[in-house]
Amino acid sequence: MEKAAVLTVEKLTELLGREFSEAFHPDGGLSILQVRYGGARVRQEYQKNATRPGGTLSGPVIMQLADVTAYVAILASIGWVPLAVTTSLNINFLKKPPPRALIGEGRLIKLGKRLAVAEIDIRSEAEPDLVAHATSTYSIPPW
Amino acid sequence: MEKAAVLTVEKLTELLGREFSEAFHPDGGLSILQVRYGGARVRQEYQKNATRPGGTLSGPVIMQLADVTAYVAILASIGWVPLAVTTSLNINFLKKPPPRALIGEGRLIKLGKRLAVAEIDIRSEAEPDLVAHATSTYSIPPW
Amino acid sequence: MEKAAVLTVEKLTELLGREFSEAFHPDGGLSILQVRYGGARVRQEYQKNATRPGGTLSGPVIMQLADVTAYVAILASIGWVPLAVTTSLNINFLKKPPPRALIGEGRLIKLGKRLAVAEIDIRSEAEPDLVAHATSTYSIPPW
Amino acid sequence: MEKAAVLTVEKLTELLGREFSEAFHPDGGLSILQVRYGGARVRQEYQKNATRPGGTLSGPVIMQLADVTAYVAILASIGWVPLAVTTSLNINFLKKPPPRALIGEGRLIKLGKRLAVAEIDIRSEAEPDLVAHATSTYSIPPW
């Protein structure tokens, strides 16, 4: 039988909004859509205000969505371990996205005691084509 | 004799502020410190306002600085080719940075007709240790 | 309707054996299992003779399998363009493989006119777990 | 005062030849040129016998040299910890090498208790230009 997520979308949203308010603040446009053991789906709202960093669908916004999606997938799988840190991220940009929300779909391809590795697909909402594909690694402190 | 940069810091700052205002707007805290043929140094001011994306020295801010530093190095070397696009970025996060400005030091390790590859060191201002190290690749349109 | 591969397994095996004999020589243990438009499956036989490079399931053998699998997927999709070159490869090693054949399963996540990007899963034969996961990029000459 | 390497070239050559004979066997053409605390230089002889894997200066040979150079730099710095394993490798191929020996120059950009990160320059012997540039990460077991 497959394992279940150990934290719900609601609980993760609350904890991340409190502890990582720089990324998960109300104006940031990030929302967790779904979690499972080993995976997560996160949405980045389109923001047309180009005068703020993160206000457009530029590379850094896509990289942030990839990192956040993987991080949520890890927390959903091992519980609230906020000291897990990103140790590396590799991303290929495949297609210029239209002005629309982005969806990050992440799955853990390794979940060890000290190290997690995630793979993340980034697409425009309701579009089949990949906008970007990332892999990222995380160091997990003893827990 | 070494080639010279084909665009000055002043000209690049003006062009990027006009054409890429989402990254190079006055509140974003990015400034070009130095350019040469094949390289650039860019500064990301520390911003303590944690309620804006990019307001802290988190992973996405570091990734943005890496990408921008490499992009500036390319433009300084080949001139104003704004359609050059990032095709991939790989970053290793080495050390948690203190609350201080970050400096990106980029150099082009390949500058071909169609493809450029950059290596970027990220440090806290006035600190010797690396905070992060990135490599990134760019597709250059016919020019 | 989905596009078909433009080269068969038999034709690719013949061409690669002739043109890339350093990798596709009879003793190398590489064989193409399947191709389709946008994908390929390649097998690396287990070789216990540890005195030859490539004779064991070490990192370089896994990296070679990833690169070859992606390359075969490209050739199967665009035809015989032997001047396509690997421009980058990123790999995460996830699990130590047992002494058994390895299977590379590659799919193209971008196939542009100048650039192709592939994602490759590496598993031990008949095992569900990933041994490694790679992404790689290729520069395609005008054709 | 700078720390010294904890293992000599001679000792490392002996240990690697004994324990990793698949890579460091007499016919493989790898030799350690120099080590220091935090760095190493390794040479891959040119081998024209194209019928053996590793017999030419192809991508996998370059990737193997990058991985080996970083591994030697780690062992020279922390001592004989043969269970250190490569967890990821990222490489950009910059230039097709001529038929000549390759030199890997590696330096550790992070040497933590659990994780090491290396950067490796690959050049043809006696040539200034980079053939490839790699970064790689290693998981270090408790020691």
CATH of residue D54: 3.10.129.10
d(CA D110, CA D116): 5
Tens digit of each residue's pLDDT (9 = 90 or more) over D63-116: 999 999 999 999 999 999 878 899 999 999 999 898 899 999 999 999 998 999
Q: What is the mean pLDDT of each run of 10 residues along chain C (143 residues)?
A: 88 88 77 97 80 54 94 95 91 93 97 95 97 96 69
Question: For B17-21, B56-60, D11-15, D26-30, which range has the lowest pLDDT when averaged over its residues?
Answer: B56-60
What pLDDT does residue C81 have?
A: 85
Taking CA–CA distances from B128, the nearest residue in chain D reads D109
Instruction: Give the domain range for residue A92.
Output: 9-139
- With helix as H, strand as E and coil as C, how does B59-71 read? HHHHHHHHHHHHH
Does pLDDT of B66 surpass 90? yes
Q: Does residue B51 register a pLDDT over 50?
A: no
For residue D55, pLDDT over 50 is answered with no
pLDDT of amino acid B54: 38
**Total structural domains within chain C:** 1
Whether residue D73 is contained in a domain is answered as yes
A108, A74 contact by CB (below 8 A): yes
Q: Which helix (H) or strand (E) holds A69?
A: helix A59-78
On whether any CB of chain A is under 8 Å from the CB of C94, the answer is yes
User: Is residue D65 situated within a structural domain?
Assistant: yes
Of A17-21, A81-85, B9-13, C83-87, the range with the highest mean pLDDT is: B9-13
Question: Would residue C125 count as lying in a domain?
Answer: yes
Instruction: Establish if D3 belongs to a structural domain.
Output: no
Question: Residue A95 pLDDT more than 70?
Answer: yes
Chain C contact probe: residue of A86, A88, A111, A135 with most C CBs at under 10 A: A135
Q: Is D63 helix (H, G, I), strand (E, B) or coil?
A: helix
Residue C13: the pLDDT is 94
Q: With an 8 Å Cβ cutoff, is A48 touching chain B? A: no
Across the interface, do A139 and D88 touch by the CB < 8 Å criterion? no
Q: Is the Cβ of D86 closer than 8 Å to some Cβ of chain B?
A: no
Q: Is A136 a residue whose pLDDT tops 70?
A: yes
Are C135 and A90 a contacting pair at CB < 8 A? Answer: yes
What is the model's pLDDT at position A1? 54
Q: Which two tokens stand for residue A120?
A: 């993340």
Least confident of A4-8, C39-43, D23-27: D23-27
**Residue B1 resides in a domain:** no
In angstroms, what CA-CA distances link D28 with B98, C48, D31, D45, D126? 46, 16, 9, 8, 21
| Residue A1 maps to a domain | no
Q: Which of B88, B114, B139 sits opposite C88 (nearest CB)?
A: B88
Amino acid B125: pLDDT: 97
Q: What are the pLDDT digits (tens) for A35-58?
A: 999 999 999 998 765 434 433 457
Confidence of residue B108 (pLDDT cuts 50, 70, 90): very high
| pLDDT of the residue at D48 | 67
Q: Does C141 touch chain D (CB under 8 A)?
A: no
Residue D3: per-residue pLDDT: 86
Are the beta carbons of D133 and B109 separated by less than 8 Å?
Answer: yes
ipTM of the complex: 0.91
Q: What is the pLDDT of residue B92?
A: 98
pLDDT at C8: 97
Confidence check: pLDDT of D50 > 70: no
Please check whether residue C2 lies inside any domain of the structure: no
Q: Are the C-beta atoms of C86 and C68 separated by less than 8 Å?
A: no
pLDDT number for residue A50 = 40
Note whether B90 contacts D90, CB cutoff 8 Å: yes
Distance CA D125, CA D104 (A): 9
Check B135 against D90: CB less than 8 A apart: yes
What average pLDDT does the structure give for chain B?
Answer: 88
CB-nearest to A139 from D88, D90, D115 is: D115
Distance CA C75, CA C32 (A): 12
Q: Is residue D4 part of a domain?
A: no
Between chains, do C130 and A137 touch, taking CB under 8 Å as contact?
A: no
* Greater pLDDT, B32 or A22: B32
| Nearest CB neighbour to C54, from listed D54, D92, D96 | D54
